[in-house]
Amino acid sequence: MIAALLLATAVASNPAPPSFAHWKYERSVNTHARAGTVSVAVPPSIYANAQPSLDDLRVVDGRGNLVPFTLRTPPPGPTVVWTSAALTDEGFVPGRYSQVVADLGTNGGVYGILDISTPLRAFATTVDVDASDDRRIWRTIRTGAPIYDYERDGLAANTRVRFPRSTARYLRVRILDRSALFPIDGVRVAAPAGSKSESTRYTIGVAPTKRNVPDRTISYRVNGIDEVPIDRFRVDSSTQRFVRTVDVQTSADGISWQTVTSQQVTRMGPGRAKLSVDFGETQAVHWRVVIRNGDNAPLSDVRLEAFGAPRRIDFDASPGMTYRAIYGNPSAPPPSFDYAQTHSAKVLDGATDVALGPPVRNPGFVPASKPWSERNPWILWIALIVSVGAIAGIAVRTMANPK
C-alpha cells in the first residue's frame, strides 16, 4: 500500500514518468540498500502472469520513476557442425529392415548425433545403429530409436538419432519393421552441442496418467513451468537397469500435443546412466513427458526435473532507494533502453545478486481499456451506413439531373 501511495504521489507531482496503473502485479527488489549494479534472476512464477517474452517487465523506484535496465538472456548454444557420409550397401530384407552403411571417411571426428534424410513423408518407425572401424566387426550403439514425420497433420517430425559419442568410420543404419523399402538419400553426423553457461533446476509438479495402449506408455503432466524457457528434463527412476524412449511434448490447449524431442534414457548399473533429455529452449503453456515402456514393467518411482537458463534483470541501484519489478500488462510494448550498450559485459557479470520478494497485486490496478472505436463498433457501422446512403443519394440526384 505504501508503495502504491508513493507511486501515485510521484505520478501526480511529476507528469513525465508514465503511469503504471495497467500493470497488475509487482514484486519488491531486495537490494538491501546496496548501491551499484545489481542482478536478479527472473523466477518461473512471473511467466504465468507476464507476457511470455517478458516485454511488459519494468523496474520502478520508490518515487515512481522508470529505471533503465537490461533483460539478459542466455547466449546461444555452440553451432552444430554436420559431416555428411558416403552411402553404400543399401538393401532391404522383406519384413525385417532396410539398411544402409554410412562411410564418414578419415575425418569424421567425434560425433553423437545422426540425422537421416529420406524423401518419405508421413511415417513412424524405429532405427538401430551399429558402428565399425573396419566394416568387419560391428558393435551396436543404439537400438529402437524413434524417427517419425507427422507434419502433414500439423504435428512434429524427428529424423535424428542420439547415441554415446563415437569416432567409428562406419555406421550401419537399419530401419526396422518395414513391409517395403525405406529410402535413405543422406546420412550426416555431428557432435552434441555443449552445455549452456547457466542452468537452473525448477520445482515442478508431476501428475502421471496411464494410457490404455499395448506398449504400456505412461504420460506425466508437468505443472509449474507455464511459459518458462526450458531446455532439459532429467528422468530418473529407482529401477536399477532400464532403457526407455522418452518423448517431451508441449501443447497450447492441453488437448493437441506436439513432440519437441524423442530420446532414450538409460541406466546400465552404478555410474553408467544417461538420464538427461536435452533440446532447444522451448516455452509452452502445457508440458508432458511420455515414457514408452514397451513390454517392460513400468519404471518404478519416476522422478522428473526441469531445467532452463534463467533471464536476469540488471540495473543500477542508488543507496537507500527502494525498487520493485512490475509486470502483468498484456498490451505493454517492449522497453527500449541503452543500458546494455552503456554497461560492459564485465560490469554486468560482476553485478551483485539480489532477489525478488513475493508477488503482490497492484492495489491501484486498472485494466487497460480498449480504444473507443473498439468499445463502440455499432457507431462506426451506423456512420458507414449513413455515408453509403448519402453517396447513393447524391449519385441518384446526379443521374436524374445531369446539370
Question: 62: alpha, beta or left, given left = phi > 0 and alpha = psi -120 to 50?
Answer: alpha
Q: Contact 286/224 with Cβ under 8 angstroms?
A: no
- Cα separation, 389 vs 385, whole angstroms: 6
Q: Provide the domain limits for residue 294.
A: 200-308
In this structure, which amino acid lies at residue 184?
A: I
Q: Kindly state whether residues 237 and 284 are assigned to the same domain.
A: yes
Domain-embedded: residue 23: yes
Cell numbers at 116, concatenated: 537421416
Per-residue pLDDT averaged across 10-17, rounded?
34
Domain-embedded: residue 195: no
**Nearest partner of 224 among 388, 47, 9, 14, judged by Cα:** 47
pLDDT digits (tens, 9 = 90+) for 226-244: 999 998 999 999 998 999 9
- Cα separation, 270 vs 353, whole angstroms: 37
- Cα separation, 104 vs 129, whole angstroms: 14
Q: Kindly state whether residues 207 and 235 are assigned to the same domain.
A: yes
The DSSP 8-state label assigned to residue 195 in this structure reads P
Domain-embedded: residue 131: yes
Cell numbers at 94, concatenated: 522383406
Q: What Rg do the C-alpha atoms of the chain give, in angstroms?
A: 29
226 burial level (CB within 10 Å; 0-12, 13-18, 19+): middle
Q: Kindly state whether residues 186 and 261 are assigned to the same domain.
A: no
Given a cut of 70, whether residue 378 has pLDDT beyond it is no
Question: Which residue do the cell numbers 527502494 mark?
Answer: 322
Label residue 1 by pLDDT band (50, 70, 90): very low
- Cα separation, 200 vs 282, whole angstroms: 15
Q: Kindly state whether residues 208 and 281 are assigned to the same domain.
A: yes
pLDDT at 349: 85
Q: Kindly state whether residues 385 and 348 are assigned to the same domain.
A: no
Q: Kindly state whether residues 298 and 212 are assigned to the same domain.
A: yes
- Which residues 6+ apart lie within 8 Å of 348 measured at CB? 37, 39, 70, 72, 314, 340
Domain-embedded: residue 339: yes
CA distance readout (Å), 29 to 4, 208, 309, 317, 325: 15, 37, 21, 10, 7
What is the domain-level CATH number for residue 97? Answer: 2.60.120.260
Strands 58-61 and 323-327, by their bridges, are: antiparallel
Residues linked to residue 344 through DSSP beta bridges, in sequence order:
none
Domain-embedded: residue 76: no
Total domains present in the chain:
4
Classified as helix, coil or strand, 9 is helix
pLDDT at 13: 35
Label residue 202 by pLDDT band (50, 70, 90): confident
Q: Kindly state whether residues 49 and 102 are assigned to the same domain.
A: no
pLDDT at 363: 84
Given a cut of 60, whether residue 195 has pLDDT beyond it is no
Q: Contact 177/91 with Cβ under 8 angstroms?
A: no
Tell me which of 299 and 397 has the higher pLDDT.
299
Q: Contact 267/240 with Cβ under 8 angstroms?
A: yes
Q: Kindly state whether residues 292 and 389 are assigned to the same domain.
A: no
- Cα separation, 358 vs 202, whole angstroms: 17
Domain-embedded: residue 272: yes
**Nearest partner of 227 among 303, 306, 171, 320, judged by Cα:** 306
Per-residue pLDDT averaged across 350-377, rounded?
76
**Nearest partner of 101 among 126, 123, 132, 125, judged by Cα:** 132
pLDDT at 213: 58
Distance spanning both ends of the chain, measured CA to CA: 73
Q: Kindly state whether residues 55 and 16 are assigned to the same domain.
A: yes
211 burial level (CB within 10 Å; 0-12, 13-18, 19+): exposed
**Nearest partner of 38 among 286, 356, 255, 362, judged by Cα:** 356
Q: What is the mean pLDDT of the chain?
A: 83
Domain-embedded: residue 70: no
- Cα separation, 184 vs 85, whole angstroms: 12
Per-residue pLDDT averaged across 122-145, rounded?
91
Q: Kindly state whether residues 293 and 322 are assigned to the same domain.
A: no
Label residue 330 by pLDDT band (50, 70, 90): very high
Residue spans of alpha helices (H) in 282-344: 339-342
Average the pLDDT over each of 53-57, 178-182, 208-212 and give the range with the smallest value.
Answer: 208-212
Q: Kindly state whether residues 209 and 304 are assigned to the same domain.
A: yes
Q: Kindly state whether residues 292 and 210 are assigned to the same domain.
A: yes
Domain-embedded: residue 354: yes
- Cα separation, 240 vs 269, whole angstroms: 7
Given a cut of 80, whether residue 154 has pLDDT beyond it is no
Tell me which of 19 and 287 has the higher pLDDT.
287
Please work out, in degrees rounded to the nearest 5, the angle formed at the alpha carbon of residue 129 by the alpha carbons of 194 and 290. Answer: 65
